[in-house]
Every structure is written in structure tokens, then in C-alpha cells.
A and B are shown apart, each in its own frame.
Chain A
Amino acid sequence: MNIRMFKKGDLILIISLVLLSGLILAWNTFSSSSKEGPVTAVITQNGTVLKTIDLASVKNPESLDVSQSFHQVILVEKGRICFSESDCRDKICVKSGWLTKIGDKAVCMPSKTVITLVGDHQEIDSIAY
């Protein structure tokens, strides 16, 4: 038996994983394809909402200091938002780059800060009148 070869289970595993990820990817893009119109950025820290920003209505670029356990700055421009500075260890949040589309997300684990872009159509759960 040559151990360097694949076994049947390996192939089944790899193929089903690829199929599964393709499926989820397709489903994710499908469910977000109907998401058009104004984009809102929701910034949460520790599960509580710090700020929500209608990205279309941003006129001048703005820096938001969200430092808590870490020094961290979020940069907002018209139509896009990103983590611009962070002194967390791996800087995954900063590497995530600009978020522009509905469904985009950037996460900073160490500081428990999340930016999520949500669309308008799912905005309102109920109306107070």
C-alpha cells in the first residue's frame, strides 16, 4: 500500500467540501444579489452597537476612534468604510481593507469590534407609530 496516495475517502471529502463551499458561496451571493440601494455600516463592540452610518450620506472622510482595550481607528468615506489603524496583534481587521458591498464584514477579534454592511430592505423590523 502506498501511503502517499489518496484514498477514496479523501477524494470524497475534498470533492464534497469544494461542492459545499461552492454551494454556500452561491447561496451567499444569491441572497445578497437582491440587496441593492443604500448601504448602512453597523459598528458593534462587545455585541453592542456603537454607531450606524448611512454610507451614502457621508460627505467628508471621517475618522472614528473606537479605542477600548486597543487603540483602534475606523475610517469612513462616501460609500466605504474600513479599519484604518489598530494595535491588535495580527491586524486582521486592517488587512480586511475597504468594505463597500452589503454583506461585507470586517472583524477584530482581540477588540471584539465588528463592522457589518447592511442593506436597506432588511432595515426595518417594525414601526413605532
Chain B
Amino acid sequence: MKKQAYLLISLILIALFLLTACGPAKPFTADDFAMGTVITQELYGADAQKTSQKVIAKIKALEALMTINASGGDVNRLNDQDGNGYVAVNPETMSVLKSARKISELSGGAFDVTVGPVVKAWGIGSDKPQLPPDAVLKHLVALIDYKDVQLDQANNRVSLQRPGQIVDLGGIAKGYAGDVAKAIYQKNGIQSALINLGGNVVVLGHKPDGSTWCIGIQNPRSETGEVVGVVHVSDQAVVTSGDYQRYFEKDGKRYCHIIDTQTGYPAESGLMSTTIVASSSTEADGLSTATFVLGLTKGLDLIKRYGQAEAIFITTDKKIYVTKGLQGNFELKDARHEYTYVQEG
């Protein structure tokens, strides 16, 4: 009788084990505030909570290095030494500046971290946004030139050539933080994770059940959380730039936060949003800004030349262009039938 009791108990235990082992694993989720935005993490695995805390600590450290809103960081010290020779920076800052340089060169300056003076003049996203006078903008636009950021990689030093220039990593730092987060997940044995840094989504691996992550693309003219479509991705970054993210309105006109480096005015290229899907979150971040400034045709051309990214462009006349490599993974979720889906290429 004793033997049978043992057997019964072990059978029940096996049954329970099977049920729990096969049930959908619950992720550990965390919301934190850093880099001026909400950062949501979703991790599966043993060390999820610890790892997520490591990630947030690291992101805060990166923020301190790259912010222009507080003193002491690499970028701030660089901006203080405008036209005054080299400043020693951390390898991480160097890495971001290198990626920024690559995207600037590729986009012919449509993405440019030296856009700082113009961004400051507009103050979009700050308490006091304003419409700067034409003459001022003309003067400030002359200060935009990514080639003036000299990178001395051997000695981890950077210089800003001309006085008055300001480096603003706002268009790429979050992207970099995404890549760093992914690396931390991997180093800590996490195989399945998602991080959303204020709209920049980076996923690691597949979901635990082997399926792909479904990332919604914000509808540029609806309330936050309403999507126009969904992309299915694994191990990639999904980064969106849009005119709806930060803007101010004056005299019935909308001025968005993405500056056209040619004119010094908010970009008006006929796009409402650009979404880049690529394995490098840093470069995807730069590319999304660059393509938003360039517009549909030149933007698609940039993606083609970059070669390792796919894109979703939404134009102001409500057409959604999806590049070839993404068409199988994109699903239109246009409940009100506002948009036209165009398969590009």
C-alpha cells in the first residue's frame, strides 16, 4: 500500500510539473523613469529582476554621460569646450558619436548631432517653445556640421571645431541605450526580453513559446496606444520618429521636434512617421530621424543604401509604405480604414 501511495503522489507531481512547465511563462515587467521618458522592460528567465535593475542603473549612467540638461557629463563638457580643443570622453560616448557619424555620412547630414544650437533655439519639448526669427535660424544653421566633431578614437578624445556648436545626442542616445540593454540581457543569460525606451523598442530573441514579438506601430494621428499596424520581429530594434511625438502649435500650425538640418525649421517632408527595423538600435534611431527629415523617396533610398534595415513610412496623405523585407512581417491594423497600404519595391 505504501508503494502505491508513493506512486500516486509521484504521478500527481509529474502532472503538476507538466502543467506548470508547459504553461505560458510569466514575464517580469518593470517600469522606470530615465532619459526623460518611461522605460518598460519585459524579461523572461531566472535572473529577470536583478538584470532589469542592472539595465536601469546602466541607462541612468549613460544618461549622465550624454545629457545636455545637467553638467559634468561627457557631452556637456564637450559642448563647454566648443572650439577649444579635445575633451576626454568615455568609450561609450565615443561609440555613440561613431555611430552618429556613420549615419550622418550615409544620410548626407540629414541626421546630425550638431543640430544642438537650433534645437535649443526652438525649445520644442521644453517649457517655453518659441518660433525663432529667420535671421537667427540662418545664423544657427551655419553651425550645423557633423564633420566638425573630431573623433580621436585612439585616445578616446573628441573636439568640437567651432565656438557656438552644440552636440545633442537626443536623436540617438536612447537607441544606444537599447543596444546596451540587450547586451546586458545576453550577458546575464536572459534569452527572451523586450525593452521599450520611450517608444524605441528592442527585443531579444523570440518569446519563450518560440513565437515572434508583435510590435505595434503608433497611429500618428490617434491617441497614444492606437496602432496602424503590427510588425513581427525577433532580435531586432523597432524605432519610430514622428511629428506627433513632441511638438508645439502656434497660429494653428504644428511645429514638430525633428529639425531639418538644411533649413533649421521642423522637418516638413511629407511624412508623419518613419519606423526603422534593424538589428542595431543605435543606428535605427539615427536612421529614423534621418529618413523623417529626408522624406519618402530619399528616405527609401537611404534605407536601401544602408542595407541592413527595413522601414515603414507613413506619409501625410495617409499612405503606409513598407519595404520589401518587412512585407511578410507587417500587418495592417487600420480599424477605421484611413490608410492605404503600399508595398514598396
Spell out A's residues near B (CB within 8 Å).
8-9, 12-13, 16, 19-20, 23-24, 27, 40, 42, 47-52, 54, 57, 116, 118, 122-129
Contacts and interface: CB of A to CB of B under 8 A. Distances in A.
A127 B332 contact: no
B7 A52 contact: no
Interface of B: 4, 7-8, 11-12, 15, 18-19, 40, 42, 194, 196, 199-201, 203, 206-207, 210-218, 224-225, 227, 230, 232, 234, 238-240, 242, 245, 275, 328-333
Given A47-B210, A52-B329, A54-B331, A128 B42 contact: no
B215 A125 contact: yes
A128 B240 contact: yes
Q: Is the interface of A mostly helix, strand, loop or mixed?
A: mixed
A100 B97 CA distance: 51
Contacts of A116: 211
A127 B227 contact: yes
Contact of B19 (A27, A40, A125, A129): A27
Residue among A16, A20, A122, A127 having the largest count of chain B Cβ atoms under 10 Å: A127
Contacts of A51: 328-329
Contacts of B331: 40, 52, 54
B15 A16 contact: yes
Contacts of A124: 214-216, 227, 230
A118 B12 CA distance: 31
B232 A127 contact: no
Contacts of A27: 19
B40 to A, nearest CB: 7
A118 B211 contact: yes
